[in-house]
Amino acid sequence: MQTEYKTSMHPGLPGMLADSGNHDIVGQWAAGENIGFGYGVARDTEDKILKVLDTDTDVFQGIALRVHNEYGLYKQYDPINVLRKGRIWVPVLVTIAVDEDAYIDVANGTLTNVSTDNVATGGKFQLAHTYNIANAYNLSILSINLP
């Protein structure tokens, strides 16, 4: 039986839409690796197949949108929803500021404000205060507007 209750809920989870504003979501397929919710994705060898963005030569295609499944991530060959335009909760490991440019850290797939050896998203952070989730990572809101 639960005996302890928090006074507030987490504002979001990785890969959740941050609001109900205008957004563009496209359907693709996950390549041969797991893709976490809220992580940046790039094209694999085929047009509609996506992989975790992991090299600074990858072309950013969007952020993996959260769905309800038993794994908590996308597995190989799963259909994957990718946000290309809108605001989304993303994992961050660095201190950020509002309106800073956002990049994908190719070492771990999280979002960062460091451009060196990382991939530009064309987006900006919309929330300076980050929310800590289980002491594993922080969350912030990313606003992106890909063509």
Structure tokens of 112? 């960062």
- Residue 136: per-residue pLDDT: 64
Separation of first and last alpha carbons in the chain: 50
- Residue 33: per-residue pLDDT: 82
Residue 74 has pLDDT above 90, yes or no: yes
Among residues 43, 12, 15, the alpha carbon closest in space to that of 110 is found at 15
Domain borders along the chain are 24-145
- What's the burial of 26, exposed, middle or buried (CB within 10 Å: 0-12/13-18/19+)? middle
- Residue 134: per-residue pLDDT: 59
Query: pLDDT higher for 59 or 137?
Result: 59
What is the rounded distance in angstroms from the CA atom of residue 33 to the CA atom of residue 71?
13
Average pLDDT over residues 72-81: 92
> 105 CB contacts (<8 Å, ≥6 apart)?
93, 111, 112, 114, 118
Average pLDDT over residues 134-147: 83
Fold of the domain spanning 24-145:
Virus Head Decoration Protein; Chain: A, (2.40.300)
Mean pLDDT, the chain, as a whole number?
A: 87
* pLDDT tens profile 85-119: 999 999 888 888 899 999 999 988 889 999 999 99
This prediction has a pTM of 0.88
